[in-house]
Chain A
Amino acid sequence: MSAELVEHARAGDRRALARLLTEIENRTAAGEAALRVLYPLAGQAHLVGVTGAPGSGKSTLVAALVGQARASSRAVAVLAIDPSSPITGGAILGDRVRMQVHAGDRDVFIRSMASRGHAGGLAASTVAAAAALDACGFPLIFIETVGTGQSEVEIAAIADTTVVVQSPEMGDEVQAIKAGLLEVADIVVVNKSDRPGADRAAAQLRAMLTVGAQHDRAAGDRPRPKRPLVMLTSALTGAGVAELLATLDRREAARRSAPGGDPDGAALKRAEAQLAGILAQRMAERLRTPERAAQRDAALRALAGHETDPFAAADRLLALLSEPAGG
């Protein structure tokens, strides 16, 4: 079934693609089999992460960028992540509300994903879903994170380009020099530029984000924060959207033409994030056999009762995993 789905999805059957994404999202055996075929075919698309605080205008900006990309007839995919309830597992996936202008355009594929308990602003299967869309011929893929606070920076590990969206009322200059989200931006967009204060916010951001540039140059090989571009857009009026897409395209072209094709290590970081996720998943699966689950529960209880320490408990479970399954 999975081979057939892959074949149809790659031939442009949107229903098959949707089903494929469901299998991937649910981490089924069929989804895994599909990804084994699709992953080697991916790596062509520009993955653009769009993150920022709730209400900063991420969805509206993505919808405007999609419109701009469609003006040059490019197929575009969007993965829009919203949070799952930690209590019931339910979710309201509302990003489509801003994107429905593109419904009915078969070269725009929008998929909502619930975070399903994954922290960091994404869902556990987001990278895999992006790889599937990539392999199915979407050259430009926007990944919109959940509305984030100050430190949900996982998107920077999986996107080629990270756009952090701010609204003009983002706070004072101290906000701009705090560690976290702004540090991982390749482009900081001050959205809602139709509102008062937007120019000033952009100027403050530019000033504060370049503080320390000289210091960095003198510091040699020390890991240094990025020096993001600061741009102004109004997703509402469309101002600045064409310039933003052109900047994204230039950045991608430069990245592709650089020797090795991955000058800032984006692909390597993504590979690392994916591998870590799958290793954790595999480990959790292997701890679910009845006997191991019992040992895991015993370890948890011992830990909760402070009868052991967390390191010893983890080492014990790891030792268990190296024994033959079912043993």
Chain B
Amino acid sequence: MSDQNVPARPIKVLIAKPGLDGHDRGAKVLARGLRDEGFEVIYTGLRQTPEMIVSAALQEDVDVVGLSILSGAHMTLLPRVTAMLHDQGMDDVLVTAGGIIPDDDIPALEAAGVARVFGPGTTIREVAHFIRENIHSRAA
């Protein structure tokens, strides 16, 4: 069934807001923008624990988890998400982050398994391009 006329599976992205942070305009704009890029975007709403995010990512079998965080708790919450994904054997899921994250924190987050931190001013096109270039291809 690898017929070239069969459209490829749309990329599935989970957009999640970990922690206590009440602003999801950015996450919604990104969700909408990725929709327009042809992605299937699952949005889980505000105030998600790492457990909730990983459980949703697992059940939905997503290719990408995009974490939007503005609260300043990124050094605690983001590594917990990546560690829990690892525990579930989900190392093939691409994890990206966005929001207000100081440059100084980025190397530690990358070391913890966040593939890319997108800062303010990033365009949707850049995010979509990064995802397309970096999602892990799966054995069918």
Q: Which of B9, B31, B36, B51 has the most CB of A within 10 A?
A: B9
Cβ B89 vs Cβ A90 within 8 A: no
Among A108-116, A140-148, A232-240, A313-321, the one that faces the other chain is A108-116
Q: Which residues in B have their C-beta under 8 angstroms from that of A293?
A: 5
User: Which residue in chain B gives the minimum CB-CB distance to A17?
Assistant: B59
Docked pose: A137 CA to B10 CA in angstroms: 28
- A178 in the interface (beta carbon within 8 A): no
Name the residue of chain B whose CB is nearest to the CB of A80.
B42
Known A-B contacts A1-B139, A14-B59, A88-B36; the reply to A96 vs B9 at CB < 8 A is no
The answer to the question of A21 belonging to the interface, with a C-beta cut-off of 8 Å to chain B, is yes
Q: Are B52 and A97 in contact (CB under 8 A)?
A: no
Q: Does A175 lie at the interface of the complex (its beta carbon under 8 Å from any beta carbon of B)?
A: no
- Residues from chain B with a CB closer than 8 A to the CB of A18 are 58-61
- Please tell me if A323 contacts chain B, counting CB pairs below 8 Å: no
- A14–B58 CB distance below 8 A: yes
Q: Who on chain B is nearest to A103 by CB?
A: B52
On whether the beta carbons of B45 and A92 are closer than 8 Å, the reply is: no
B44 engages A97 (CB within 8 Å): yes
Contact in complex: B52, A100 (CB < 8 Å): yes
Distance A183 CA – B41 CA, assembled complex (angstroms): 33
Closest-by-CB residue of B relative to A22 is B61
- Is A92 touching B35 in the complex (CB atoms < 8 A)? yes
CA distance A288 to B2 in the complex (A): 12
The bracket for how many chain A residues form the interface is 35 or more
Contact across chains for A15 and B58 when beta carbons are under 8 A apart? yes
A77 to chain B, nearest CB (A): 10
Tell me, rounded to whole Å, the shortest Cβ–Cβ distance linking A317 to chain B.
16
Does B40 lie within 8 Å of A96, measured CB to CB?
no
Residues in B neighbouring A91, C-beta threshold 8 A:
10, 35, 40-41
Query: B35 contacts which of A14, A85, A103 (Cβ < 8 Å)?
Result: A85
Cα of A112 to Cα of B43 in the assembled complex, Å:
10
Decide if B36 touches A100 in the complex (CB within 8 Å).
Answer: no
* The residue from B7, B9, B40, B139 contacting A90, defined by CB atoms under 8 A apart: B40
Given contacts A15-B88, A15-B90, contact A92 B31 (CB under 8 A): yes
| Chain A CB within 8 A of B23 CB | no
CB atoms of A92 and B58 under 8 A apart: no
In the docked arrangement, what's the CA distance between A293 and B89, Å?
Answer: 42
With A109-B59, A288-B5: A100-B35 Cβ-Cβ less than 8 Å: no
**Could you say which interface size class chain B belongs to?**
35 or more
Whether A21 touches B61, Cβ cut-off 8 Å, given contacts A92-B43, A100-B45, is yes
Closest to B37 in A: A90
Number of A-B contacts (CB under 8 A): 101
Report A-chain residues with C-beta under 8 Å of the C-beta of B37.
Answer: 88, 90
Instruction: Please report which residues of chain A, range 20-41, place their CB below 8 angstroms from some CB of chain B when the two chains form the complex.
Output: 21-22, 25-30, 32
A326 an interface residue at 8 Å Cβ cutoff?
Answer: no
Q: Are B40 and A114 in contact (CB-based, < 8 A)?
A: yes
Does B111 make an interface contact (CB < 8 A)? Answer: no
Q: Within 8 Å of chain B (Cβ to Cβ): is A43?
A: no
Q: Select from chain A the residue with minimum beta-carbon distance to B11.
A: A90
Inter-chain CA distance A22–B58, complex, in Å, is 11
Of A26, A27, A84, A100, which one neighbours B48 at CB under 8 angstroms? Answer: A100
A131 CB to nearest B CB, Å? 18
| Residues in chain A near residue B41, CB distance under 8 A | 90-93
- Contacting pair B31 A110 (CB below 8 A): no
Residue B118 CB within 8 A of the other chain: no
Q: Min CB distance, A44 to chain B, in Å?
A: 21
A85-125 CB mask vs B (1 if < 8 Å, else 0) is: 10011111110110010011000011110101000000000
Whether B35 contacts A90 by the Cβ 8 Å rule is yes
Shortest beta-carbon distance from A313 to chain B in Å: 19
A19 at the interface (CB under 8 A from B): yes
Of the candidates B1, B5, B58, B61, which one forms a contact with A27 in the assembled complex, judged by CB atoms under 8 Å apart?
B1
Question: Smallest distance from the beta carbon of A114 to chain B beta carbons, Å?
Answer: 5
7 closest A-B pairs by beta carbon, nearest first, are A90-B35, A103-B52, A97-B45, A18-B61, A88-B38, A93-B42, A103-B55
A-B contact pairs, 19 of them (CB 8 A): A18-B60, A22-B61, A25-B9, A29-B1, A29-B140, A32-B1, A85-B38, A89-B10, A90-B38, A92-B31, A92-B32, A93-B40, A93-B42, A93-B43, A96-B56, A97-B45, A100-B48, A110-B56, A288-B3
